[in-house]
Amino acid sequence: MIRGIGIDAVSILRMETFGDGLVSRLFHPSEAKRALMLKEDSLRSRGEFLATRFAAKEALSKAMGTGMRGMSLREIAVVTDILGKPSLVLEGHTAEHFSRLFPKTSILVSLTHEHPLALAQVMLVEESSDGTQ
């Protein structure tokens, strides 16, 4: 059963202007580290990387219907598998908060970017009583 859907758009240009200090305050440590490496390669790819991740976190807060209350941006990481499929990993108080509100619920995320915007959509899917989604 679908428990929530959220979508968000973020300006890539705005993210290109973020300094390292702001990045370390707003992003998971693994994301901040990756953004630092991208800075040396290309400001545009760094902006795309940060914008998609920020959009995913905002889309999650919208899907939950709570805004960012009870969550920390630094405790939410966007990770990708070997094929590039994104997923959200929640840690600490943010993971506890999510589990309390949405037990047995999976988070699905889709990311895209086309300059000047990055978009993310998040869907919360609760397992049915027979274990299916």
Q: Give 52's contacts (C-beta < 8 A, 6+ positions apart).
A: 10, 78, 111, 112, 113, 118, 119, 120
Burial of 11 (0-12, 13-18, 19+ CB in 10 A): middle
58 is in an annotated binding site: yes
d(CA 115, CA 48): 8
The answer to whether 8 is a known ligand-binding residue is: yes
Phi-psi region of 45 (alpha: psi -120 to 50; beta: other; left: phi over 0): alpha
Which burial class, exposed, middle or buried, applies to 67 when counting CB atoms under 10 A from its CB (0-12, 13-18, 19+)?
exposed
Binding residues for Mg(2+): 8, 58
Annotated binding-site positions: 8, 58
